[in-house]
Amino acid sequence: MQLPTPEDLKKRRNELGLTQSDLAKRAGVSQPLIARIESGDVDPRLSTVRKILDAFEEAEKEQQIIIKDLMHSPVFHVSPEDSVEEVVNLMHIHGFSQIPVLDGGIPVGSISEDMIVKLMGESKKKSISQLKVSGIMGEAFPTVSPGISISVVSHILEGNPAVLVVEKGAVVGVVTKHDVMKLLQGK
Length of the chain equals: 187
* pLDDT (0 to 100) of residue 182: 80
d(CA 15, CA 160): 27
Lowest mean pLDDT among 84-88, 151-155, 169-173: 151-155
Alpha-helical segments (H) within the chain: 6-15, 20-27, 31-39, 46-64, 67-70, 84-94, 113-122, 150-157, 177-184
Q: Taking the CB of residue 34, how many other CB atoms lie within 10 A of it? A: 26
* pLDDT (0 to 100) of residue 179: 85
Nearest to 82 by CA among 45, 10, 134: 134
In the predicted model, what is the mean pLDDT of residues 86-94?
A: 93
Nearest to 141 by CA among 117, 177, 116: 177
pLDDT (tens digit per residue) in 31-43: 999 999 999 999 9
Give the chain's mean pLDDT.
89
pTM exceeds 0.85: no
Domain ranges for the chain: 6-64, 68-184
d(CA 98, CA 177): 11
Yes or no: domain 68-184 corresponds to CATH 2.60.120.280: no
Fold of 6-64: 434 Repressor (Amino-terminal Domain) (1.10.260)
Model confidence at 187: pLDDT above 60: no
